[in-house]
Amino acid sequence: MEKFVIEGGLPLNGEITPSGNKNAALPLLAACLLTEEPVILHNVPQIRDVMDMRRMLESLGVTLDDLGNRSWRVTAKLVRPADLDPDLSRRIRASILLAGPMTARAGVLKLPPPGGDVIGRRRVDTHIWALRQMGAEVSYDRSFEFKASGLKGADILLDEASVTGTENAIMAASLAKGMTILRNAASEPHVQELCQLLNILGAKIDGIGSNTLHIEGVDRLHGGEFTIGPDYLEVISFVGAAVVTRGEVRIHNAGAHYLGMIRIVFNRLGVDWREDGDDIVVPAEQRLEIEPDLGNAIPEIKTNIWPAFPTDLMSIAIAIATQAKGSVLFHDWMYPSRMFFIDKLVSMGAQIVLCDPHRCIVTGPARLSGEKVESPDIRAGMTLVLAALAANGTSVIRNVGQIDRGYEDVDGKLRALGARIERLTEH
């Protein structure tokens, strides 16, 4: 097991370029199952979750060639409905993304229960509902079995705007016979990128970026080439790192057009940045004062489906709020265990009251001190890194393999900005 040792209290300064979007790379890799022709993907993030997805695809008969410079050629000429490794499937949530393309292309898939971050129950009912509407048979007995002799288009109203549920439905509908109308669809940047790739491969998808998609099924898809966009979660994580250390950082290729609502929320925390083309520049001078609601009421920052503030950035916003003047209520209704890293920030000196599993009140600014803590999941782990960078003294963050699942070479990027961070192996 590896750990980070971080000496805090140093401002970060310099320039970085974020890696490709993890949450786009995973469905894009799964989408390559829909065609027997080669698909070339550029800007593939070199992170653990992506490597696990690669191993699962290879077990299904897919050939993946590393072309260098983070580009992969993916060829699914012949796919086989092999039994997937249960341990591998449990390591990442994205294993469920194999259901749609394998059901459409091969007509069968046996899938062990998917895993991922331990942030509460994460239902897959939406995936099953959508695939059944298109004619798939789905059974469950300690593992899922998907079967179909040919999918048919349908008018589908998803019971929730599930990102991966939407992605599975999009992939299946691309090869289904007839028209599929997908309502209450998720519209995150990675969902849009999946649709863009599929259209390059010959799919017919209209309404990209909205919550209603029209997908006209085609007989087959061909090969193509696509560049994965920047990971906006990594971009905002580095915004947070600059802010809590009072440093100035330029983030190249930041995908600024996707950051509108995030910027609105961060403005309420007294944080802003400057856009320069598709770069953003985070200045060292930040107001860092909570903007109260009318009547001087404590404001609430609440997660919701895109384009509202995303749940995966709640913990980063909490870290920033510990350094801002005033009080703010954070509310993440989506996952019952998302807030269960708060005690680690409190142990470092943060002034946070955990109201219930979904809400906490942060009062700042707080003087943080170095501490020994453990990363519970990807996003909370990165938040602890931010707290350690802001703290006085030395912090030790254990179980950083969780952070590596979603962030490529995060310690190297931070060192390039002037952070004193070491990666050590625990014996």
Kindly state the DSSP code that residue 297 receives in the 8-state scheme: B
At 266, the amino acid letter reads F
SS3 211: coil
Q: Rounded to an integer, what distance in angstroms lies between the CA atom of residue 369 and that of residue 283?
A: 24
Q: Residue 48 in contact with residue 405, Cβ under 8 Å?
A: yes
Pairing of strands 274-276, 279-282: antiparallel
SS3 content of the chain, % helix, strand, coil (to 5): 35, 25, 40
At 278, the amino acid letter reads D
Kindly state the DSSP code that residue 112 receives in the 8-state scheme: P
Q: Which residues contact 294 (CB under 8 A, 6 or more apart)?
A: none
SS3 325: strand
Q: Residue 337 in contact with residue 353, Cβ under 8 Å?
A: no
Residue 10 burial (CB count, 10 A): 17
Which position among 117, 231, 312, 332 bears the catalytic label? 117
At 195, the amino acid letter reads C
Q: Known catalytic residue: 404? A: no
Helix 22-31, helix 48-59: angle, nearest 10: 10
DSSP assignment string, 33-100: GG-SS-EEEES----HHHHHHHHHHHHTT-EEEEEETTEEEEE-SS---PPPPHHHHHH-GGGGGGHH
SS3 138: strand
At 252, the amino acid letter reads H
E strand or H helix at 233: helix 232-245
Of 353, 349, 372, 370, whose CA–CA distance to 362 is shortest?
353
Q: Rounded to an integer, what distance in angstroms lies between the CA atom of residue 391 and that of residue 380?
A: 16
Q: Residue 6 in contact with residue 397, Cβ under 8 Å?
A: yes
Q: Residue 386 in contact with residue 374, Cβ under 8 Å?
A: no
Catalytic site positions: 117
